[in-house]
Amino acid sequence: MMTLLVGCAIAPPRTDDPLEKFNRKSYAFNMALDTHVLRPVAVGYTKVTPKPVQTSVSNFFTNIKLPISIANNLLQARPSDAITDTGRFLINMTVGVAGFFDPATKMQIPIKETDFGITLARWGVPEGDFLMVPLLGPSNFRDVWQYPVDGYLFDPLSYFERNHKFHYGQYYFPEVVYFIQMRAQLLDADSFLKTAYDPYAFVRDAWRQNRLNKIYDGNPPADVMLKLQQGGNGSNNNNQNYDPEELLKQQQQWEQQQKQQKSGGG
């Protein structure tokens, strides 16, 4: 959930969140699960696993998940990106010893990550309401389809699990390691949430901007970014000089104002 908090500006609080009551309860559940289960396991993992091993595990899962991006790049009519990801996948699977090493990066072959939610967006499917999915995190009515489609049709790990039956469920072990490794990589991002007066709004708005950046290849149109800044309410249309770099500062100022108002009201 906190990947979206790293490396992007944050939009001011949105006003178009009709499912906010449910979303906040779901967010509270996810954070409780993270606090009591996921984070402690990730901390333990980083303490007992040497850094080179962590890097190799991360390389493996980044590479083994590339067929998801390859399939979606084809669905998006982006054959060049699909070819690039295919070349990267084959090089790392062979020269990189099943993906545990990453020679493709040293060869300056970029990674073109995408998913089915972005595929739907690029074919004009509207995003729908924001949705905080229990166990899975931020999404919306459009992007939530990436979980069943990518997870079942395009993910090699899912295919492996469906076709290997062991008595004690050992075939789920790769997915467990994948989620532990993902959470371990986000430990340094925990401080982002601690500085937010309203962590739910912070996560929601950061996620939405992160998705826009992916849909528009890191360069969303000014009018789209302006709508994001305004929370989708269409106000302040005279603000044509919108600067995305100011979003984080504005979010922090808003949070401070809310904190002061709440203190004064008490």
For residues 216-226, average pLDDT: 76
Distance, in Å, from the CA atom of 210 to the CA atom of 11, rounded to the nearest integer, reads: 10
Q: Counting beta carbons within 10 angstroms of the beta carbon of residue 74, is it exposed (0 to 12), middle (13 to 18) or buried (19 or more)?
A: middle
Distance, in Å, from the CA atom of 26 to the CA atom of 33, rounded to the nearest integer, reads: 11
Q: How confident is the model at residue 264 (pLDDT cuts 50, 70, 90)?
A: low
Q: What is the pLDDT of residue 239?
A: 36
54 near 181, Cβ under 8 Å?
yes
- DSSP assignment of 37-96, as one string? IIHHHHHHHHHHS-HHHHHHHHHHHHHHTHHHHHHHHHHTT-HHHHHHHHHHHHHHHHTT
Distance, in Å, from the CA atom of 167 to the CA atom of 56, rounded to the nearest integer, reads: 28
Residue 203 has pLDDT above 50, yes or no: yes
pLDDT in tens, 89-112: 999 999 999 999 999 999 999 999
Q: Counting beta carbons within 10 angstroms of the beta carbon of residue 139, is it exposed (0 to 12), middle (13 to 18) or buried (19 or more)?
A: buried
pLDDT in tens, 34-84: 999 999 999 999 999 999 999 999 999 999 999 999 999 999 999 999 999
Q: What is the pLDDT of residue 252?
A: 55
If one compares 201 and 44, the residue with the highest pLDDT of the two is 44
Q: How confident is the model at residue 26 (pLDDT cuts 50, 70, 90)?
A: very high
109 near 86, Cβ under 8 Å?
no
